[in-house]
């Protein structure tokens, strides 16, 4: 499949995730095999008003390519301008968010709110395409609710307006994350467009990746499962190529990745902030390990990296030690 000049074969994309897919996390997923990256979403009004915290989301590194900057909003003028400003950061494409379900965003007509107002959606797509010479892509949901699923109209519309790749999270806005993503829509969407289609929603294992490709979509996007396990990209690629599974990462490997992530985050945003924000990641990196409540409670007390490293490594060694070794 192609996005502009970029040729990709069965790509795996890391989903855009606010407060998660920052540069340190993106880099880890890239190293583990993610082929397409996106920034966290940036509000077009904040971009236009030059809000520093939002513009920081535009920071990208050459090692991350191909990467798209994602913007959202419902005012065509602001979206056009935000696309032009995003282009200055030299991403490979600009992505339009038409899928965010969060109440305060969707209810004011941004994100998935565009699905309730197709004329406005169309005007926004055209504005973004006008605003940049880069390829424009879009990410959306099936529709607002189950009675108004309009993804086929949306898919046709975005292609006609010049969008060059479409990612579909196979749920409605009203579903949020409830229920199961309905992948049966991917085949139907594929049938009405000729631009590449990226499937998204509930991909949690290498088998899921294969099943989603079986629907006919051109790429597979992974969000939450990558937070728990960046290895999913490499493991899925190995499975697609050989039909066999790479071993699951060991506890030591997970601990080391957790620490690498923390150190990279500290370099990016400063040690104290990185340590505080990293607290949400311990549960996911250590998922499935018995008795982590006490460990986590201990880690929450620290505000610097050193004691965290020490405590986590000690936990990994102790938990990996054989328990049935006979006494000497």
Ligand X SMILES: Cc1cc2nc3c(=O)[nH]c(=O)nc-3n(C[C@H](O)[C@H](O)[C@H](O)COP(=O)(O)O)c2cc1C
Site of interaction with ligand X (CB under 6 A)? 15-18, 20, 40-41, 70, 97, 99-100, 139, 169, 200-203, 222-225
Beta bridge partners of 237: none
Crossing angle for the helix pair 305-320 and 271-285, to the nearest 10 degrees: 20
Cite the DSSP H helix spans in the chain.
23-31, 44-48, 52-55, 76-88, 103-106, 118-131, 151-160, 184-192, 206-214, 224-228, 232-242, 251-269, 271-285, 292-299, 305-320
Closer to ligand X at the Cβ: 205 or 252?
205
Closer to ligand X at the Cβ: 16 or 91?
16
Cα separations in angstroms, 131 against 80, 117, 124: 4, 21, 10
CB 245 within 8 A of CB 37: no
Closer to ligand X at the Cβ: 58 or 315?
58
Closer to ligand X at the Cβ: 67 or 100?
100
Q: Which residues contact 104 (CB under 8 A, 6 or more apart)?
A: none
Q: How far is CA 24 from the centre of its chain?
A: 13
Q: Smallest gap, in angstroms, from Cβ of residue 41 to ligand X?
A: 4
Task: Write phi, then psi, for 168 (nearest 5 degrees).
Answer: -125, 115
Q: Which residues contact 127 (CB under 8 A, 6 or more apart)?
A: 76, 77, 79, 80, 83
CB 268 within 8 A of CB 32: no
Active-site option among 44, 100, 170, 217: 100
Q: Smallest gap, in angstroms, from Cβ of residue 105 to ligand X?
A: 10
Q: Smallest gap, in angstroms, from Cβ of residue 321 to ligand X?
A: 35
Closer to ligand X at the Cβ: 138 or 251?
138
- For the chain, the first-to-last Cα distance in angstroms comes to 61
Residue nearest to ligand X (CB): 223
Known catalytic membership, residue 29:
no
Catalytic residue numbers read 100
């Amino acid at each position: 499949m192609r996005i502009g000049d970029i040729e990709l074969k069965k790509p795996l994309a890391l989903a855009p995730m606010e407060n998660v897919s920052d540069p340190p996390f993106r880099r880890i997923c890239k190293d583990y095999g993610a082929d397409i990256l996106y920034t966290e979403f940036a509000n077009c009004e904040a971009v236009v008003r030059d809000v520093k915290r939002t513009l920081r989301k535009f920071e990208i590194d050459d090692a991350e390519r191909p990467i798209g900057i994602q913007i959202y909003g419902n005012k065509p003028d602001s979206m056009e301008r935000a696309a032009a400003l995003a282009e200055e950061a030299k991403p490979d494409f600009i992505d339009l968010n038409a899928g965010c379900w969060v109440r305060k965003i969707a209810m004011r007509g941004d994100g998935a709110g565009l699905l309730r107002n197709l004329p406005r959606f169309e005007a926004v797509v055209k504005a973004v395409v006008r605003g940049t010479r880069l390829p424009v892509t879009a990410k959306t949901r099936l529709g607002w609710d189950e009675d108004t699923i309009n993804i086929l109209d949306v898919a046709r519309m975005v292609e006609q307006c010049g969008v060059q790749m479409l990612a579909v999270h196979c749920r409605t806005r009203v579903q949020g994350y409830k229920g199961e993503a309905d992948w049966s829509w991917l085949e139907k969407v594929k049938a009405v467009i000729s631009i590449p289609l990226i499937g998204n929603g509930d991909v949690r294992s290498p088998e899921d990746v294969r099943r989603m490709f079986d629907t006919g979509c051109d790429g597979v996007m992974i969000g939450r499962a990558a937070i728990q396990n960046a290895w999913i990209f490499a493991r899925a690629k190995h499975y697609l190529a050989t039909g066999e599974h790479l071993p699951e990462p060991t506890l030591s490997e997970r601990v080391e990745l957790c620490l690498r992530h923390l150190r990279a985050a500290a370099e990016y945003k400063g040690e104290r902030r990185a340590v505080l924000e990293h607290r949400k990641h311990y549960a996911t990196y250590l998922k499935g390990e018995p008795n982590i409540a006490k460990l986590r409670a201990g880690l929450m007390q620290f505000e610097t990296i050193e004691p965290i490293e020490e405590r986590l490594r000690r936990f990994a060694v102790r938990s990996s030690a054989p328990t049935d070794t006979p006494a000497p």
